[in-house]
Structure 1
Amino acid sequence: MKVFFTFDSRPDLQKQLVEQFPEVEFVFRKGIIDDELETAEVLVTYGEDLTEEHISSAANLKWIFVASAGVEKMPKNAIAERDILVSNVRGIHKKPMTESILAHILSIKRVLPTIYNNQRNKIWDKRGGHPTELNGSTALIIGPGAIGGEIGRLLQAFEVYTIGCNRSGNSVEYMNETYRIDDLAEHLPKADIVISVLPSTEETQHLIGYEHFQGMRDNAIFMNFGRGNLVETSVLIRALEENLIQHAVLDVFEEEPLPMDSRLWELENVTISPHCSSHSSRYLERSLEIFIPSLKKYLEGDKDIENKMNILRGY
């Protein structure tokens, strides 16, 4: 059986796979190689390099392991028609993303940008920036799954009150309260910090509108670390220009890279993070921690693997 990686992982990780699964032929390449794809039974990819033509030509393909959480750029219908098994690495982003989100929150609360700017300009100003405390705040987390739950866990360590909004409204660990996402507007006024880690689906596209920003506190921090199409860019810019909220921290955008002429670059009440919050030196090894047990199951004929997805739903 052939397992084809469309990215060239670290040599030590490749060696680990080869030694652990001597019965498997592993191929490591940068990008799609048609000859390799045509004979591969398992494909390991970040998901952005696959087309319908690739799926059509991959006659032996039975399982796609996506080394990413998002699958919105994959040829979903072609994959579903072939009934190809799809799984991803949902959950491995929770540590680096939570650290990124917490770092941004603390940076704003403790006015670190002002401190750094004063240092560059040799300004000694003990009163500059008006710092506030994270302790005692309320955070509303839209999408309290693996990532959102980890965010909630660490925020609660800072004595932050956490509110979750998900599809069901069922209770979730590390959320003090949980409500249905359909009732989001009702609970936004409670929050000092609004954090979205939602995936991109038909239901989440432009889920947050201008009226939602009107419902937020004028000193709220809005953070989008899920997908950029949660909010229409023009709506987001309008809300920031009108100072409906204090600050936005954006790791994702409707158009990426963010165009140079975007108004978002010029606004003082926004922090632009170039879709890098999940980056970590440990990313690939965490991916293999999910892939290896799944490969063992697959070789035994067990298709009930971790993070098995409905490709048409996107999760």
Structure 2
Amino acid sequence: MKVLSTGKLKTTIKDHLKENYPELTFQFFSSMGEAEPYLSEAEVLLTYGEDVNDTLIQKATQLKWIMVLSAGLERMPLQAIKEKNILLTNARGIHRIPMAEYTLSVMLQVARDTKVVLANESSKIWKKKTPIREITGSTIGIIGTGAIGSEIARVAKTFRIKTLGVNRSGHKVEHFDEIYKNEDLLTMLPKCDFVISVLPSTNETMNYFKKEQFLAMKDSGVFINIGRGDTVKEQDLIDALNENQLAHAVLDVFKNEPLDPSHPFWEMENVTVTPHHSAISDNYQPRAIEIFEHNLRQYQNRLNDYKNVIDPDRGY
């Protein structure tokens, strides 16, 4: 069985896979461009999910399983994968620790006015009085109560934060004090000091946050997006911030990346821009490969206890 990888895997991981699975033929490449001549022979593909298209799926005549070494699937040719009945799994869940740490860190940064403090430091301005507040005892609303949202809620409890969550059915989730259905979002938003979106990119979540949602938030509220950029109608968010309908936005994801230098977000004092790095961690690849190895054992032994099987119709 040939396993082809188009991700830039660490040497230690490549050596580990070759040593522990000598019966398999691994082909490691740094890009799809390098790997494409060998794609027609591969039964398994390891990819970050941004280098596969319809044409390549048609060329991959032996392909039976795609393991996406990330959570995002918005660039995957899901219809073509469905038509060829290719098993699709991803690394959902590996981001929960770094993304929870990121979320709590930016909450503290906004609460302690760190953006201004750093600007003052750069300009050698000694200004002791800044509008600093505490996050302890506040209320957060997390839209998306899966592995990442649940970990954010768990960590938030350290600060005695009240945790509210939104999911499709309103089913209870550990670490959340209250859960709301999607249709009850506007009831929850006015209660939140911080609103955190962990939404994926799907047809259902496109422009999920727009004027109506921002109007429902507290004018002292902070919006944090670590999900996907197209879940937010950007102009509506800009208008809401300019009209002081909310206090601040921390944005790690955008509709178009990298964010254009001319985009208004860069210049807005009440916006913090980070370069889609909330999930970055030195443990990223080891955690993703751990899921791959679990699924590989299932695949080799014709079992069916796969982790993170993706429904191509839903996109998650």
TM > 0.5: yes
By how many angstroms is 1:124 displaced? Answer: 2.7
- Amino acid across the alignment from 1:26: F
- Amino acid across the alignment from 1:77: Q
The question of whether the paired residues in 2 share the 8 Å contact of 1:218 and 1:244 is answered with yes
- Alignment correspondent of 1:196: 197
- Amino acid across the alignment from 1:302: L
The question of whether the paired residues in 2 share the 8 Å contact of 1:163 and 1:175 is answered with yes
Question: Matches of residues 140-219 of structure 1 in structure 2 within 5 Å?
Answer: 140-219=141-220
**Secondary structure of the structure 1 residue equivalent to 2:85:** coil
- Alignment correspondent of 1:57: 59
Tell me how far apart the structure 2 counterparts of residues 254 and 114 of structure 1 sit (CA, whole Å): 27
**Secondary structure of the structure 1 residue equivalent to 2:175:** coil
The question of whether the paired residues in 2 share the 8 Å contact of 1:250 and 1:272 is answered with yes
- Amino acid across the alignment from 1:120: S
Residues 61-118 of structure 1: CA deviation (Å, up to 9, x unaligned) = 0000001101110111100001100000000011111111111111111222232223
Tell me how far apart the structure 2 counterparts of residues 132 and 26 of structure 1 sit (CA, whole Å): 53
**Secondary structure of the structure 2 residue equivalent to 1:55:** helix
**Secondary structure of the structure 2 residue equivalent to 1:151:** helix
Structure 2: unaligned runs, 5 residues or longer: none
Tell me how far apart the structure 2 counterparts of residues 220 and 277 of structure 1 sit (CA, whole Å): 21
Residues 257-314 of structure 1: CA deviation (Å, up to 9, x unaligned) = 1122211111110001111111112211111111111111111012431111102211
**Secondary structure of the structure 2 residue equivalent to 1:65:** strand
- Alignment correspondent of 2:83: 81
- Amino acid across the alignment from 2:115: P
- Alignment correspondent of 1:309: 310
**Secondary structure of the structure 2 residue equivalent to 1:50:** coil
- Alignment correspondent of 1:11: 11
Tell me how far apart the structure 1 counterparts of residues 272 and 241 of structure 2 sit (CA, whole Å): 11
Question: Matches of residues 1-315 of structure 1 in structure 2 within 5 Å?
Answer: 1-32=1-32, 33-127=35-129, 129-315=130-316
**Secondary structure of the structure 2 residue equivalent to 1:164:** strand
Tell me how far apart the structure 1 counterparts of residues 154 and 224 of structure 2 sit (CA, whole Å): 17
By how many angstroms is 1:202 displaced? Answer: 0.8
Tell me how far apart the structure 2 counterparts of residues 134 and 282 of structure 1 sit (CA, whole Å): 28
Residues 138-163 of structure 1: CA deviation (Å, up to 9, x unaligned) = 00000010000000001111100000
**Secondary structure of the structure 2 residue equivalent to 1:244:** coil
**Secondary structure of the structure 1 residue equivalent to 2:187:** helix
Tell me how far apart the structure 1 counterparts of residues 257 and 121 of structure 2 sit (CA, whole Å): 32
By how many angstroms is 1:34 displaced? Answer: 2.4
By how many angstroms is 1:255 displaced? Answer: 1.3
- Amino acid across the alignment from 2:67: F
**Secondary structure of the structure 2 residue equivalent to 1:17:** helix
Tell me how far apart the structure 1 counterparts of residues 292 and 205 of structure 2 sit (CA, whole Å): 28
CA RMSD of aligned residues (A): 1.0
The question of whether the paired residues in 2 share the 8 Å contact of 1:71 and 1:311 is answered with no
TM-score (norm. length: structure 1): 0.97
Tell me how far apart the structure 2 counterparts of residues 122 and 45 of structure 1 sit (CA, whole Å): 46
**Secondary structure of the structure 2 residue equivalent to 1:92:** coil
Tell me how far apart the structure 2 counterparts of residues 192 and 132 of structure 1 sit (CA, whole Å): 12
Range that drifts further, 278-287 or 136-145: 278-287
- Amino acid across the alignment from 1:217: K
> Percent of counterpart pairs with the same letter?
46
Residues 200-241 of structure 1: CA deviation (Å, up to 9, x unaligned) = 111100112201111100000000110111111111111111
